[in-house]
């Protein structure tokens, strides 16, 4: 296994409070559904599920080694996103606004729309132009260092 050349991360300030709020609302709705209706229980279940999904985007960790760039999401059931370095055509730094991408989290689709973004905060993001014409933006701290490693 190759030694990591660079490791970075990004933490979302909004994810944990939002997940706690959704979980609390979901549990309160589940308790109240005993007195009202099954529809409230279904809505409550959706809120609890949403809470779990929000926790997925609480934090990312990114590593770069000689062969690939790997992005790991914070949840234990998440999958790592792997991009071979040989598939990266160019890298740069680009400003990202969550509103431009439709909010926080994983936005877009590399397969369907040929562009995607992992947005955990506003600010600088690593922009990867892939050789297959697709674009991936990743909000990660110390973006300049990641660009230097990928360009090197």
Better-predicted residue by pLDDT, 93 or 151: 93
**β-strand pairing of 135-138 with 59-64:** unpaired
Residue 19: domain span: 1-152
Does position 40 have pLDDT exceeding 70, yes or no?
no
Residue 109's alpha-carbon distances to 45, 116, 118, in angstroms, are 27, 5, 10
Average pLDDT (68-79) is 82
Task: Give the total number of structural domains in the chain.
Answer: 1
Could you read off the pLDDT of 47-61 as tens digits, one per residue? 787 787 777 778 889
Instruction: Determine whether 152 is exposed, middle or buried from the number of CB atoms within 10 Å of its CB (0-12, 13-18, 19+).
Output: exposed
- pLDDT band of 1, cuts 50, 70, 90: very low
């Amino acid at each position: 296994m190759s030694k990591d050349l660079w490791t970075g991360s990004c933490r979302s300030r909004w994810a944990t409070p939002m997940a706690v709020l959704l979980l609390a609302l979901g549990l309160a709705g589940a308790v109240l559904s005993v007195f009202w209706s099954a529809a409230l229980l279904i809505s409550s279940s959706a809120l609890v599920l949403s809470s779990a999904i929000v926790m997925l985007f609480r934090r990312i960790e990114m590593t770069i080694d000689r062969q690939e760039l790997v992005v790991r999401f914070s949840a234990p059931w998440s999958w790592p996103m792997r991009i071979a370095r040989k598939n990266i055509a160019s890298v740069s730094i680009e400003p990202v606004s969550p509103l431009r991408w439709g909010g926080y989290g994983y936005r877009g689709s590399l397969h369907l729309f040929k562009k995607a973004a992992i947005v955990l905060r506003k600010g600088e993001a690593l922009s990867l132009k892939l050789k297959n014409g697709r674009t991936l933006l990743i909000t990660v701290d110390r973006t300049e260092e990641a660009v230097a490693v990928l360009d090197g």
